[in-house]
Amino acid sequence: MLTGDNKQTAAYVAKELGLNTFFAEVLPEQKASIIKKLQDQGKRPAMVGDGINDAPALVQANVGIAIGAGTDVAVESADVVLIKNDPRDVSKLISLSKKTMRKMNENLVWATGYNVVAIPAAAGILVPFGIVLRPEFAAATMSLSSISVIINALLLKRAKI
């Protein structure tokens, strides 16, 4: 956690959030350099901010998250903008991001597996075995493959976040 608040407040919030590391009493111009140091250590920091002074850190961070009611500069600098003014939505954002990545990987595996089988079959690799894939059947199975990927992606709407 990186904050301009005093150390006592920062320590309390960090403890409540279960964070081991925090930086307190950080001046606005120091935020981006602290994030850069964390990145140099192999970490992938996210930055949540709402002010003009947060813009450089939002840009420097691996993921910049702006609070919706923040300044235009902060919103433009961020990768993600939270519509509500509730910083607790950051945890929901992380959960949704993980679920989205899982769906993307599932769809990639399905589509790759399908194409590894379907493209050679459509090209005639099974002809020596007496199996000829009719063009309309190949088109129908391709459509079914696309529909299954779309349905799987749409299941994200039902995800509990």
Q: Is 25 left (phi over 0), alpha (psi -120 to 50) or beta?
A: left
Query: Which of 106, 120, 103, 110 shows the shortest CA–CA distance to 144?
Result: 110
Please determine, for residue 57, whether its predicted confidence score (pLDDT) is greater than 90: yes
The pLDDT assigned to 142 comes to: 86
The pLDDT assigned to 101 comes to: 96
Residue 126: phi and psi, rounded to 5, are -95, 0
The pLDDT assigned to 118 comes to: 86
Chain center to CA of 161: 14
Beta bridge partners of 46: 63
The token pair at 33 is 């350099």
Please determine, for residue 153, whether its predicted confidence score (pLDDT) is greater than 90: yes
pLDDT in tens, 10-51: 999 999 888 899 999 999 889 999 999 999 999 999 999 988
Please determine, for residue 104, whether its predicted confidence score (pLDDT) is greater than 90: yes
Q: Quick check: pTM over 0.95?
A: no
- State the Cα–Cα distance between residues 135 and 99, nearest whole angstrom: 36
The pLDDT assigned to 135 comes to: 83
The pLDDT assigned to 85 comes to: 83
Q: Running DSSP on this structure, what letter comes out for residue 132? A: -
The token pair at 143 is 């459509």
Give mean pLDDT, residues 74-94.
90
Give mean pLDDT, residues 126-135.
88
Give mean pLDDT, residues 101-115.
94
The pLDDT assigned to 48 comes to: 92
Query: What percent of the chain has a predicted confidence (pLDDT) above 70?
Result: 100
The pLDDT assigned to 17 comes to: 84
Range 19-55 burial, b when 16+ CB lie within 10 A, else e: eeebbbebeeeebbebbeebeeeeeebbbbbbeebbb
Mean pLDDT, the chain, rounded, equals 91
